[in-house]
Chain A
Amino acid sequence: MRGDAVMLAGSAGSGKTTIALQYLVNGIAAGEPGIYLTFEQMPDQIYRDALSFGWDLRKLESEGKFRVVCTSPSLLIEGSGAEELLGDAIKDVGAKRIVVDSVSHLSMFVPDGDLRKEAYRMVNYFKVSGLSSLLLWESQQEYGQAFNVTDMGMSFLVDSIVLLKFIEIESAIRRAMVVLKMRGSDHDKSLREYEITKDGVKVHSSFKNYQGIMTGSPTRVAAERFADVFREAAGRKGK
């Protein structure tokens, strides 16, 4: 919803940046200009990555619909840093959406125990400025363990949390996403497969007939395994 803060968590290579860029490009197409705030990745790399999906960010920037702001996390948390860094850009492009890449990087520059306060301050600044925000979080991909969002201590300040995860099915790595939280909504709780195509991210239907997907190593449900046995047996008879 407009003005909401969404956290997108996933490990390296899960497609967080692609989804974030797609979120901004789609916003611009819908009349909502956007800002990409990056700490680590340089803007010229972001322009290049986006162009490989056909999104010409430099052109959008020259049209006044988009802006990349690249800075150090320490500046964002200094005094009224968010306003001083982003105020002009928000006004210039009439921004309605913002991506922060990444809150996990910001956390490295904030003294222990202060991350919640600083992230809360930042999210509130976005809200009062009328911005919907997408906050990226680089999480560890730990096979055999489900993701525990409360470990981050951040869940209370965002309205929604989407988790991206690599899973192994039949010796192949596939990608899954799930909405862990959506404030005030009975949201879809199924794990959906997604793929990164030349046009961006495409979300598919949910994984059926598998259990334990959150562990990263799902197994087929018992009924499916029985069905496999019968299918195999039928196949042998047919030969």
Chain B
Amino acid sequence: MESGNLGESLLQNLLGSDLKAQLLVLFRRNPGLIDAIDGIAIRVGKKKESVEADLKDLVEVGVVKEGRIGGTPVFSLDGKRDAEVQRAVGSYLMGSKG
């Protein structure tokens, strides 16, 4: 996919909901955060059920990675992929300005 198209689709996905933006901000401001879905939900003041779908979206986009501790799924920022996403979205926004 061209970086412009990639940037546009990522931007649309990431800005699809306020909660998704809140989750993204949470992970970006706290790159050392690695937590289960309940813990992440508490940290944005929500119940587990309300963050599940948006968190999965962020995993699909790749900015958040999913791992496991014991049998529990855990989530953390994928710093490398997040930097790529930021670059793609940034260049899309710069392009759309011109």
- For the side of the interface on B, what is the size category? 10 to 19
Q: Answer yes or no: A67 CB below 8 A from chain B CBs.
A: yes
The answer to whether A72 touches B70, judged by C-beta atoms less than 8 angstroms apart, is no
Task: Please report the C-alpha to C-alpha distance between residue A139 and residue B34 in the assembled complex, in whole angstroms.
Answer: 27
Give A59-81 as 1s and 0s: 1 = Cβ < 8 Å from B's Cβ atoms. Answer: 00000000111111011001111
The answer to whether A42 touches B69, judged by C-beta atoms less than 8 angstroms apart, is no
- For the side of the interface on A, what is the size category? 10 to 19
The answer to whether A70 touches B29, judged by C-beta atoms less than 8 angstroms apart, is no
**A44 contacts which of B30, B38, B69 (Cβ < 8 Å)?**
B30
- List residues 34-89 of chain B with CB under 8 A from any CB of chain A: 34-36, 38-39, 43, 69-72, 74
Task: Please report the C-alpha to C-alpha distance between residue A72 and residue B69 in the assembled complex, in whole angstroms.
Answer: 11
Chain A interface SS verdict (over half): mixed
Which A residues are in CB contact (< 8 Å) with B71?
78-79
Q: Answer yes or no: A94 CB below 8 A from chain B CBs.
A: no
The answer to whether A85 touches B29, judged by C-beta atoms less than 8 angstroms apart, is no
A-B pairs with beta carbons under 8 Å apart, 13 shown? A42-B29, A42-B33, A43-B30, A70-B30, A70-B32, A70-B33, A72-B36, A75-B35, A75-B70, A75-B72, A78-B72, A79-B70, A81-B70
B residues adjacent to A (C-beta < 8 A):
29-36, 38-39, 43, 69-72, 74
A residues adjacent to B (C-beta < 8 A):
42-44, 67-72, 74-75, 78-81, 84-85
